[in-house]
Amino acid sequence: MLTKDDRPLILLRLLDSDVQQQVLEFLPPEQANGLRRGLASASAHDAVDWSLESSVIDEFEMMLAFLKSHAPPPPPPPSAVQLQVAEESAVAAGGSPAPGKKFIPSDDPLADLERMPAQQLGLTLLAEQPRTIAILLAKVSGARTAELLGFFKDDLKQAVIKELGRESIAHPTLFDRLARATIQRAVAAADGPPVEQSDRVGKLIEILRSLDKAQRGPMLEALEAEDPELAGKLAESLYKFEDLSTTEDRVIQKILGQVESSTLATALFKVDDAILQKVLKNLSRRAQQSLQEELQLQTHVAASKVTQARTAIAQIMAKLAREEDA
C-alpha cells in the first residue's frame, strides 16, 4: 500500500513509461535508481487511495504554481483574432459555427471536449505537445477526433496520430487535469475584442491560399451557402497575377484566350522575367512577335493601370478555376 511518503512514486505511476524515463533522467542518479526500483517492484494492483492521489497531485500543482509565479510569463493563449479566423475557416469547411454566447464549462471535462466549438478547442490544442493532444483525443469520439485533427498542420497531425497508435493508456486523473486545463485556456482565449471584417477576409485568404485545390473547393462551396458575397470576394482574391509563373501551360493558354492583347501588354509592363517567358511560351509565334513589339513601344504605364490589368487577369484565373470545379 503506497503512502504519502511515496509522493514521487505516486506521481510517476500516473505517467507513461517513456515519460517516466524522461523525468528520471533529470534526477540525481541515486534518486533515479531508487525510483526505478520502486516502479519495478510496485505491482500494478498496489492500491492507492484516490483521496491520497488527488492530495499528492494538488501539492504538486501548488509547487508548480509557485515556480510559475517566479518564472517568465508563458506565451499568450490564441487570440480572439485567431479564434474568429479559425471559426470562419471551420464554417467554410462545413463545420458548425461557434455559439453566440460564451462557452460555459460543465463539471464533466469529457463532455466539454465533445461539445466545445471545434475551432475554439482545435486552435487551443495547437499550443500543446503531441502526447498531450493524444491523451485528450483518445477519450473523445472518432468523429470529434477527425474534426479536431483538421485544424493541425501535417507534421503535428502525423505526430498526434502516431501517439494515438501507441498502446499506453493515460491515468484517469491525468486526463481529467489535462482536459480541465485545456478547456479553461480555450475559454480564456475566446475573450477579446471583435475582429474587423477586413482582417477576417485577409486571414481567410491566407488560410485558403495555403490549402491545396482539393481542400479549397469544398470550403468555398460551404462558405458560399452561408455568405455568397464573402465567398465571391475570397474566390477573386485567391488568385494573384504572380501565380502565372507556376500555373500549368494548359491553364495559361485558356487565360490568354480570354485576355485582350492591350490588357495583357499593360499587365506585363516591367513584369518579372519568369512570368513574361511563361506567357510567351504559350503564345503562337505571330502572337509572340506582336506582344513583344507592343512591349517595346511601352515607355511608361501608370501603376494604377498596371494593377487594374493584372487584377483583370487574376479574375479570369479565378473564373476559370470555378468553371473547372463545376
> Tell me, which fold does domain 80-190 have in CATH?
Annexin V; domain 1 (1.10.220)
Residue 313 phi, psi dihedral angles, 5° rounding: -70, -40
Show pLDDT as tens, one digit a residue, over the chain (326 residues): 566 667 787 777 777 777 777 778 777 888 888 888 887 776 555 555 667 777 777 777 777 676 666 655 555 555 544 545 555 555 454 444 444 457 888 888 999 999 888 888 888 898 888 888 988 998 998 888 888 888 888 788 888 888 887 766 667 878 888 899 999 888 887 665 544 555 566 766 776 666 666 666 666 676 666 677 777 777 667 788 888 888 889 999 999 999 998 999 999 999 999 999 999 999 999 999 999 999 988 888 899 999 999 988 988 888 887 777 65
- What crossing angle do the helices spanning 118-125 and 80-92 adopt, rounded to 10°? 120
Q: Residue 258 corresponds to which cell in the numbers above?
A: 480570354
CATH number of 239-326: 1.10.220.30
Count the residues in the chain.
326
- Range list for CATH 1.10.220.30 in the chain: 80-190, 239-326
Query: Cell 469544398, residue?
Result: 218
Residue 260, helix vs strand vs coil? coil
Q: Are the beta carbons of 163 and 133 closer than 8 angstroms?
A: yes
pTM for the full predicted model: 0.40
